[in-house]
Structures are given as C-alpha cells and as structure tokens.
C-alpha cells in the first residue's frame, strides 16, 4: 500500500518522525503537501471537514480508507505493519510509551524558542525564551536524554529496546540531529554525558535506507521555521 503523508511542506517538524519510519521501512509514500499545491489544499480541506475523522493538525497519514493523525499514533500504526515495533502487546505498548515520552521532549524543545505562544514571533518572546532555554539545559534535557541513555545501557543492545530497531530509535536519531542544529555549543558539552545515545545516532545514520534518504532532496534541511531552531543568543 502506498501512503499519503500530509505535513507542512517547508519544514521537517513533527512530520519528520513519520518520514524517517517510512524511509527506513522502504514504504511507498507521497509527501502530498510538498508535492503540489493541490496536495496542500487537500490537507487543509481534510482538517476542516465537518464530518468523519478530521485531524486536529498535521502530520496525518492516509492509509487506504484510514486517516491517522498524531505523530505517535501514526508510528504505532506503521510500526506494527513494517516491523518497526515488537509484534507482542507488551513490546508494542512499551515502544509507544517511549515515543510518547519523545513527543513530550519535542514539545519542550519547541517551547525553548516559543514559551509564550506559537502564534507570536520569536522576537516577541526573546526574554522568556532565554529563561526557558536555561531551564531546558539545566533540568529537562538531562532528565529526558539521561533517561534514554539509561535505557540503552540497561538493554545491553545496540538499540533502545535491545537488539532490534524500532521507530523510537529513528526518532531519537532526529532528536540528536535537531539538538545539534539548534544548540551546537550546548550539545558539544552535553554529548559527553550521553555516549550511548550518540552511538545510536551514528548507527541509525549508517543504515542504508536512512543514509540514502538523508542524502536525497526528500530530506528537508533544518531551518528556522521548524521545531529545532538555532538562535545564537540561546546557545551560549
């Protein structure tokens, strides 16, 4: 089955966690809103539907008759179909739980530059952004990334849940990449504390399907409109 992925066409954003899973799985998909203006119009129309199951926000995935929204929910669906999550209930719930914890981290990263409101400009919230970013690096990043580091260490394998890759590993790759883009100075120091996570990032980058994707123009470069943004004054 070929999928239609709907996401904002100019950023990696939350859509990227889905793209990485689709690419690793070698699944056929169309990045619909990127492909054409008609795709973008369809995306907006699907969200505004008065009936049925309109998603609240992108990303969402059309898979046959299903329209699935919320990043972690899409990955729950794809994981089972493409061998990117354990088949049993316990393992499936565990990987999903990890993905939801990653989603919480993603929100906190976003809020470093937009602590007051998504609808406002960064320039209108620079002072609180500075405070929130300090909080992030003092408390939140160590807590979240330390947790994942501990899991990799405890599992004794190459990946988050042990010897087998899951979609949560792909998402952690994106977390490390994104933090390196947004906070190169912070990360340079901080990576000493998370060697296993960095090694995981490297293993993912070397996987053939991921390497091919990263080298392609299907991978949108990081930029200043996404979740991970680089502001010099926030990276000291």
* Binding residues vs its own copies (CB under 8 A): 49-57, 65-66, 68-70, 72-73, 76-77, 89-90, 93-94, 96-97, 100-101, 104, 107, 111, 115-120, 125, 128, 131-132, 135, 139-140, 144, 147, 150-151, 153-154
User: Which residues neighbour 46 within 8 Å (Cβ) at sequence distance 6 or greater?
Assistant: 6, 54, 55, 60, 67
Of residues 96 and 201, the one with the C-beta less far from its own copies:
96
Provide the minimum distance between the beta carbon of 35 and its own copies in the complex, in angstroms, as a whole number: 24
Of residues 4 and 111, the one with the C-beta less far from its own copies:
111
Of residues 115 and 226, the one with the C-beta less far from its own copies:
115
Contacts 24+ apart (CB under 8 A), 155-162: 158/200, 158/203, 159/200, 159/203, 160/98, 160/200, 161/86, 161/91, 161/94, 161/95, 161/98
Provide the minimum distance between the beta carbon of 188 and its own copies in the complex, in angstroms, as a whole number: 23
Provide the minimum distance between the beta carbon of 7 and its own copies in the complex, in angstroms, as a whole number: 15
Of residues 153 and 199, the one with the C-beta less far from its own copies:
153
Provide the minimum distance between the beta carbon of 216 and its own copies in the complex, in angstroms, as a whole number: 29
CB-based burial of residue 5 (10 Å sphere; 0-12 exposed, 13-18 middle, 19+ buried)? buried
CA dist 143 and 212 (Å) reads: 32
Of residues 3 and 222, the one with the C-beta less far from its own copies:
3
Which residues, listed in sequence order, are joined to residue 6 by a DSSP beta bridge? 60
User: Residue 209 is encoded by which pair of tokens?
Assistant: 């399907």
Give strand ranges (E) for the chain.
3-6, 29-31, 60-63, 66-69
Of residues 120 and 212, the one with the C-beta less far from its own copies:
120
CA dist 187 and 183 (Å) reads: 6
Provide the minimum distance between the beta carbon of 215 and its own copies in the complex, in angstroms, as a whole number: 32
Provide the minimum distance between the beta carbon of 100 and its own copies in the complex, in angstroms, as a whole number: 4
């Amino acid at each position: 089955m070929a999928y239609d992925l709907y996401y904002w066409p100019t950023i990696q954003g939350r859509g990227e966690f889905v793209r990485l899973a689709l690419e690793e799985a070698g699944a056929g998909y169309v990045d619909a809103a990127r492909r054409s203006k008609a795709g973008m119009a369809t995306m907006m129309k699907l969200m505004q539907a008065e009936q049925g199951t309109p998603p609240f926000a992108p990303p969402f995935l059309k898979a046959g008759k299903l329209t699935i929204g919320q990043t972690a929910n899409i990955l729950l669906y794809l994981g089972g179909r493409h061998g990117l999550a354990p088949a049993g209930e316990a393992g499936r719930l565990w990987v999903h739980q990890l993905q939801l914890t990653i989603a919480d981290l993603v929100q906190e990263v976003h809020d470093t530059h937009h602590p007051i409101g998504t609808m406002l400009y960064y320039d209108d919230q620079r002072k609180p952004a500075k405070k929130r970013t300090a909080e992030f690096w003092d408390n939140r990043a160590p807590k979240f990334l330390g947790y994942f580091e501990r899991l990799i260490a405890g599992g004794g394998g190459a990946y988050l849940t042990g010897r087998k890759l899951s979609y949560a590993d792909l998402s952690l790759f994106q977390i490390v990449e994104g933090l390196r883009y947004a906070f190169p100075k912070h990360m340079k120091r901080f990576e000493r504390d998370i060697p296993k996570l960095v090694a995981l990032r490297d293993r993912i980058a070397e996987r053939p399907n991921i390497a091919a994707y990263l080298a392609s123009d299907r991978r949108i470069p990081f930029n200043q409109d996404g979740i991970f943004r680089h502001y010099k004054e926030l990276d000291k």
